[in-house]
A and B are shown apart, each in its own frame.
Chain A
Amino acid sequence: DGGITQSPKYLFRKEGQNVTLSCEQNLNHDAMYWYRQDPGQGLRLIYYSQIVNDFQKGDIAEGYSVSREKKESFPLTVTSAQKNPTAFYLCASRQGGKNIQYFGAGTRLSVL
């Protein structure tokens, strides 16, 4: 069954701690994206990657980092520099042609 798997579903971060959110896809899509959603709002782009070993900052990249060592995987690290990390994080991959993005189930990050 093809899809996008995000883990963990819930994550708690202590002050000064880096945490990593996992995103894996088996859809054979080249492009992957990370979005952040705050309560009552739409999604905002954090980082994206169109090909392995390449990634670009989105609109709100400060305090985040990513890697893309494998086509299937695009982990997001929320660093201690991100002062307001509490949000819902969604990973997506993009199908060619119509460029439809398909999303994982999300990770809800809270600060302790």
Chain B
Amino acid sequence: AQKITQTQPGMFVQEKEAVTLDCTYDTSDPSYGLFWYKQPSSGEMIFLIYQGSYDQQNATEGRYSLNFQKARKSANLVISASQLGDSAMYFCAMREGRAGRRALTFGSGTRLQVQP
């Protein structure tokens, strides 16, 4: 079974509008972390935002916020006031457990295109 599912291969948004990128996850571990990364065409993975499984409040970082719904196992990324520079691939990722390898499991990504 997929551990991270991103169901939107591509999304379009008008400049200055908000957009939500979907992510659902699957884990039986009570301790986990959820991450969003941006990958522009240059290829580098840029960390955007983190949400811990025990965090009571949704994470926010500037124009990025994470809509964390634990019971539904969803961790959607909301980008407010989209800019042309937001056009990129966006990946949701999860880290399970407090010990061990603590590697990230990635979804297949969503390509966001911001239109002027």
On whether the two chains bind one another, the answer is yes
B45 CB contacts on chain A under 8 angstroms: 43, 90, 92, 103
Q: Is the CB of A88 within 8 A of B43?
A: yes
For residue B57, which residues in chain A have a CB less than 8 angstroms away from its CB?
none
Closest to B43 in A: A106
What 0/1 pattern do residues 93 to 112 of A give for CB contact below 8 A with B? 01000111111111010000
- Choose among B46, B50, B102, B106 the residue that contacts A43 (Cβ–Cβ < 8 A): B106
**Interface pair A45/B103, CB less than 8 Å apart:** yes
| A101 pairs with B108, CB closer than 8 A | no
Tell whether, in the assembled complex, residue B42 and residue A105 are in contact, meaning their CB atoms are under 8 Å apart.
Answer: yes
How extensive is the interface on chain B, given as a class?
A: 20 to 34
Residue B68 at the chain A interface, CB threshold 8 Å: no
Tally of A interface residues using CB under 8 Å: 26
Task: Say yes or no: A99 contacts B95, CB within 8 Å.
Answer: yes
Q: Does A64 contact B (CB under 8 A)?
A: no
25 contacts between A and B (CB under 8 A): A31-B102, A41-B108, A42-B106, A42-B107, A42-B109, A43-B45, A43-B91, A43-B106, A44-B106, A45-B101, A48-B103, A56-B101, A58-B101, A58-B103, A90-B45, A92-B45, A98-B50, A99-B33, A100-B35, A101-B104, A103-B44, A103-B45, A103-B46, A104-B44, A106-B43
Given contacts A43-B104, A105-B44, 11 further A-B contacts (CB under 8 A): A44-B106, A45-B101, A48-B101, A56-B101, A90-B43, A98-B33, A101-B35, A102-B47, A103-B47, A105-B43, A106-B44
